[in-house]
Structure 1
Amino acid sequence: MTNKETIYVVSDSVGETADLMVKAVASQFLGKDVEIKHFSYAEDEQDINNVITAAKYSHSIIAYTIVLPALKQYLDQRTAEEGITAVDLMLPLMNAFTQTFNTEPSHQPRQMRKLDEDYFKRVEAIEFAVKYDDGQEVRGLRLADIVLIGVSRTSKTPLSMYLANKKFKVANVPLIPEVPPPQELFNIPRSKCVGLMITPEKLNEIRRERLKNLGLTSPANYASLDRILEELNSAQNIMRKIGCPIIDVSNKAIEETADIILAMFNKRGSFANG
């Protein structure tokens, strides 16, 4: 017959951290039947008293992640008075942070939720960049924070993904002389559109290398200088018609181009909520 024990998980937030830690520890005691009970969003002394009342009549442990100093102190005091074992799961690591990095914690609850929100915004932006890559679904142009336009091999896709990792929704559209650009390009605010240009020589070098990597060694119109000049001239005319800023990406790393774009948009106030 197993001896059932109770662990009260108390937190001033949801309590996922405490719950996972308790389960990880409990899994090491195979002979024990452990029941975990949750008290989430503990905000005041009454919430603590409710836990104490439940715990003092059973053989139990209180495991908690509470960062509000006054509430933590009250819980420590009350559990000591009642002879209940209470464990602050965050204290050792908090002390290590303080001593090693010479900094103090904010003692603000629910900070993990803010981190989670940042994470999900980043994921959403990455999914957006994939969905609206290379001119797919022009509806994305209206929904995007940034729209990148340019000829093939001007780093539109990697730049879109880099900016997405900074939580910006980016769509990109390839400019091809034989294919009219979508009308939506001329309907969106030109302030959120960015043209990417490159020197003919650099683009010729990039495209030749691309063909080589694909195993295509015979001459191809894609990499011919005449074709490249035609594409760049057509693209520049479209960019001028839209009235968007143009960045020469010939000798720039993705990070450098992204910094230019963000600085430009921040200066205009376009990313006030970014």
Structure 2
Amino acid sequence: MAFIALTSIFDIIGPGEVIPRRLLGLVTMVVFLTVGSWHVVDRHREDLAFYAPRHTVQLIGLRTWLESGWNEIPAWRIDLGGDQEQPLTVQWAGSPDALAEYLVSNGWHAPPALNLKAFLGTLSPKTPIGDLPLFPHLHDGRFEEVLLVREEGNKRWVFRLWPTDVQLTETGEPLWVGTVETQIPHRIVDFITLAKDKGDYIEPLKSLAQTLRRGNWVGEMRQRIEKRPGRGKRGYLQWNGQVLLGTT
């Protein structure tokens, strides 16, 4: 397919002429979207089913979780390959829908749809950070069930929430874990701009905690001993080990 597209361009432009860089970037993006879409539709569900971990439900009381159980919850997001990716800075015992509704009423909103318009926006360096594509993330074999964003100048805060294998004995509902990351525009080649994780997990977490407290939601900070400042797989990581525990 890539060969056919490039051959067509040469036929249109003619021999000896320079292919405009923006046109070449557009063709590359179209080929990427086409091949990627085919892979997602044809193989992605099979891959997830094959590699997905087997989950065992664990029960915990709300009081136990608040006092010490929170520290037994894994501190890092685990991708499909089993690698540690991002710190899980939020634990939530309550309705994820109610939390999402409250955050939307306080300046957060759904990310842009992953469509052709969003991908074409990556070809312009002037595309606002809020219009750049936002891709889903896996944790422990599951996609996030809450995904919200909030723009702050030329950066974007991204809030994700995943269910865990831990259930609260009082309600039978799962405990949720999440992360709040900071994204900035990043030019990966001369003609493509994507949103990049800046590695700052401190500032957006503080803002989220303040938002919850304004609404009389229970939001308490806990301090993990484990933290990982410095450079990691995703670049420079700013996390002080704090975890926000939230309940309705």
TM-score tier after normalising by the smaller chain length: under 0.3
The higher-RCO structure (CA 8 Å, 6+ apart) is: 2
**TM-score w.r.t. structure 1 length?**
0.25
- Counting strand residues as a fraction of each chain, which structure ranks higher? 2
- Counting helix residues as a fraction of each chain, which structure ranks higher? 1
**TM-score w.r.t. structure 2 length?**
0.26
